[in-house]
Structure 1
Amino acid sequence: MEIVHQLPGRVRIRIPEIESTNYCQRVVEGSANDARIKDLRINPACISLTVCYDPIRMEIKDVLDFLGEARPIKRPVAKKKSRLANKKTKVPETKSAVSPTAKYFKPAVSASVQEKIKHIIKSEDPGKPYSDGKISALLMEENIEIARRTVAKYREIMGILPSSKRKK
């Protein structure tokens, strides 16, 4: 016997004895009596057997005992997986309780941009207020690259009305 593929609750095993009709009948009758086995598929072309079982009530060794006395020859890939599963990975310790993603967000920068937006809006003509796109263009002139939607977001956060409602 050789385990070809294994997932929790399903295993595919290559069994040379599968060509024997007596062996197939014994396995099918045994699976019908065992409630832990959900499905059994025999593939004579591949000389393999796929067993779907309840992983909570049954382990792979129980499936192998059910199929016969012979122990399987596992492939090297399966051995690699088991070796990696036993390895422990060390999590690096951080000196502060701050999340590592916090370094990507710069609240100080957004605060200064919000102040500039507030200053631009205060200095605008009340009869012809700047749109979010115009504010974005004015900030571009000051080498602050910011999108129109970001200007709108900051304006809403600060509680400033849109240009159509600021018009007097």
Structure 2
Amino acid sequence: MAIDDRSVSDVPLAGGTDRSGEPGPAAGEDCREGAGLDRPLAGTRVIHSLPGRVRLRVPALKSHSHLEKGLQALLSDQTGVIEATVNSRCQSVTVMYDPALWSLDSLCAFHRRLTREELERRASIALADEEGAATSPPTEWLQPWRFLTKTEENPHSSGAVQTQVRSGYWTAGYISMVVGAVLVPVPLVPGIPLLMLASYFFAKASVSKPGNGPEFDGHATKPTE
């Protein structure tokens, strides 16, 4: 009678499959099982590293390129991450980081545990921020022109606003004059039109002054008989 020399641990469980003899995933191979489920970046691995800089291979970016913006935003939000660049075309992520706060293992682990929901939510927030920044008008470098717009919309405004408006005209005129004077000697650069624009601003600034008659509102006044 033959004696089965297999131990209990060698006998496969009923209804299961013995995978003990199957080779595991090769080094650097994409973990397809984890990458296709809730954690799409499970196959992240290191390509090249220097102190404070690492380049990671993220194969999931090839089929999930829409997650690129969310991943870059999440990396940029982390303390100790100096700069992060995500390239879905090359399926790579380059991170410059503080070695005192991050290591290669912790960066890889951070990528691998990110869920699809986290990436999509952060991507939507980043898109909303970009759209808001694109639609908001500039407020600092166009201060003189903002006052000019005010006087055109409300020519009968108070004296304080009119003073600000005249100051805006003077400021715009000086800026145009200086820039135009610098650009006049440069060939093929419209410096003279800027000087003409400066003259226009100076003329607008000196059209009306308090105590010199009614404010100019763009309409001709009928002479009194």
TM-score range, shorter chain: 0.3 to 0.5
TM-score (norm 1): 0.37
TM-score (norm 2): 0.28
Query: RCO (CA 8 Å, sep 6+): is it higher in 1 or 2?
Result: 1
